Amino acid sequence: MSDNEILKVKDLSILYKTDLETVYAVNHVSFTLNKGQTLGLVGETGAGKTTTALGIMSLLPKRTARVTSGEILFEGQDLLKMSEKELLGIRGQKISMIFQDPMTALNPVLTVGDQIGETVRLHNTKNLSREEIEKKVEDTLELVGIPKERKNEYPYQFSGGMRQRVVIAMALICDPRMLIADEPTTALDVTIQAQVLSMICDLQRKYGTSMIMITHDLGVVAETCDTVGVVYAGEIVEYGQLADIFAGEDHHPYTEGLFGSIPNLKTKARRLQPIEGLMPDPTVPVEGCRFAPRCKYATDQCRSKKPPLWEKDGHQIRCHFAGIRKEAKHE
Ligand code: SF4
């Protein structure tokens, strides 16, 4: 790992195995997060984004989930090789996660102050006194825009947006070096989504925290990310700098489909162009390209042979025809 990298995920594969079936959730995923930057993982629900995040946090369900290949290097150390005790010193303290739904992330019978302070009490490496922890809780509440006097209230006394601010305070109180935000605004009203998102980004910039932003929303990616991985059926099908994804010439057909399915006032198209079909069944191993059943450019080669990874100046696309001009390649 170079000095400006904080996280490097290499060839990560995760499956869920039950008595009835095996679900291939994440398939040979690789990406890098630089210090102080934001990496976006964008794709449909069920594409494997959250499983990747839970793998990094070592929060996968132990009974069913298996990591079958790869490395997760955080500050040079492989998280997959760490003991549960070593992981306790990382999770919540050096790497924190903001979960999607604040109602399920918060305990309804504990005050928000108790819940925010719990992470510090658990990790208390600086041996803070009770009063010092209380002060840290109050400061963190104010940091996320909640008056400190509200620390003794319960989650039901807060609106959805304020509850998500509490969850963000829980994630930030130990000054983590890396934050994973898993669809942090999806469960909120549209009117407060932008507010919460801009608060997360302001705090991230202020403290230089590195962040993985998991989302299905290209608008969120455009506003928050430096690097983007487009995830489809457990694979990263396109990866590059924000400009590569939003302004580059070459794209994976799935990325093209994502852009075609959002409103664009500049084009004359009166209707949105949905990506027809569904993601492939994750219980069935795929020989060729996973996107082939939905791809308008698919050939026999696509259906039978796994596409290679094309790369130019760090911009990667997994497609047999990447890098060849569209008009020529698909005639
Ligand atoms: Fe489409 Fe073939 Fe490329 Fe897959 S490899 S995205 S099917 S053109």
| Token representation of residue 136 | 């840290």
* Nearest ligand 1 atom, CA 289: 4
* pLDDT for position 261: 77
| Amino acid 326: pLDDT | 52
Instruction: Tell me what pLDDT residue 269 has.
Output: 61
> Cβ distance 229 to 39 under 8 Å?
yes
Q: What is the pLDDT of residues 32-44, one digit of tens each?
A: 999 999 999 999 9
Q: Do residues 36 and 51 make contact, with C-beta atoms less than 8 angstroms apart?
A: no
Name the DSSP letter for residue 196.
H
289 within ligand 1 shell (Cβ under 6 A): yes
Q: What is the model's pLDDT at position 187?
A: 78
Residue 302 CA to residue 307 CA, distance in Å, equals: 7
Contacts of 37 (CB under 8 A, 6+ apart): 210, 211, 226, 227
Which residues on adjacent β-strands are paired with residue 34?
5
Give pLDDT, residue 327.
47
Residue 148 CA to ligand 1 center (angstroms) comes to 54
Mean pLDDT of the 10-28 span: 95
Positions of E strands within the chain: 5-17, 22-34, 38-42, 65-74, 77-78, 95-98, 178-182, 210-215, 227-232, 235-241, 309-312, 315-318
Percent of all residues in the chain with a pLDDT value above 70, rounded to a whole number: 95
Q: In this predicted model, what pLDDT tens digit does every residue of 301-324 receive, in sequence order? A: 999 999 999 999 899 999 999 987
pTM for this model (two decimals): 0.91
Q: Regarding beta strands 178-182 and 95-98, do their DSSP bridges make them parallel or antiparallel, or are they unpaired? A: parallel
Tens of pLDDT along 221-272? 999 999 999 999 999 999 999 999 998 788 999 999 988 877 766 666 666 7
Q: Please compute the mean of the pLDDT values over residues 166-186 and round it to a whole number.
A: 92
252, 289, 294, 327: residue to mutate for ligand 1 pocket, most atoms within 8 A of CB: 289
Query: Where are the chain's structural domains?
Result: 1-94+176-331
Binning pLDDT at 50, 70 and 90, where does residue 293 land?
Answer: very high
What's the CA-to-centroid distance between 237 and ligand 1, angstroms? 10
CB of 290 closer than 6 angstroms to any ligand 1 atom: no
CB of 295 closer than 6 A to ligand 1?
yes
Dihedral of alpha carbons 234, 240, 244, 246, sign: positive
State the pLDDT at residue 266.
65
Question: Residue 8: which pLDDT band, with cuts at 50, 70 and 90?
Answer: very high
SS (H, E, C) 42-96: ECCCCCCHHHHHHHHHCCCCCCCEEEEEEEEEECCEEHHHCCHHHHHCCECCCEE
Which CATH code fits 1-94+176-331? 3.40.50.300
Q: Does the beta carbon of 320 sit less than 6 angstroms from any atom of ligand 1? A: yes
302 lines ligand 1 (CB under 6 A): yes
Q: What end-to-end distance do the CA atoms of the chain give, in Å? A: 42
pLDDT digit string (tens) for 49-75?
999 999 999 999 999 999 999 999 999
- Which pLDDT does position 265 carry in this prediction? 64
User: Does any ligand 1 atom lie closer than 6 A to the CB of residue 307?
Assistant: yes
pLDDT attached to residue 328? 44
Give the residue carrying structure tokens 């932008």.
Answer: 194
Task: Give the C-alpha separation, 249 to 322, whole Å.
Answer: 10
> Quick one: how far is CA 228 from the chain centroid?
10
Q: Is the CB of 181 under 6 A from ligand 1?
A: no
pLDDT at res. 71: 97
Q: How far is CA 260 from the centre of its chain?
A: 22
**What does the alpha-carbon distance between residue 86 and residue 284 come to, in Å, rounded to a whole number?**
35
What 8-state DSSP symbol labels residue 279? Answer: P
Beta carbon of 319 within 6 Å of any ligand 1 atom: yes
User: Which tops the pLDDT comparison, 43 or 123?
Assistant: 43
Cβ of 292 below 6 Å from ligand 1? yes
Average pLDDT over the chain reads 90
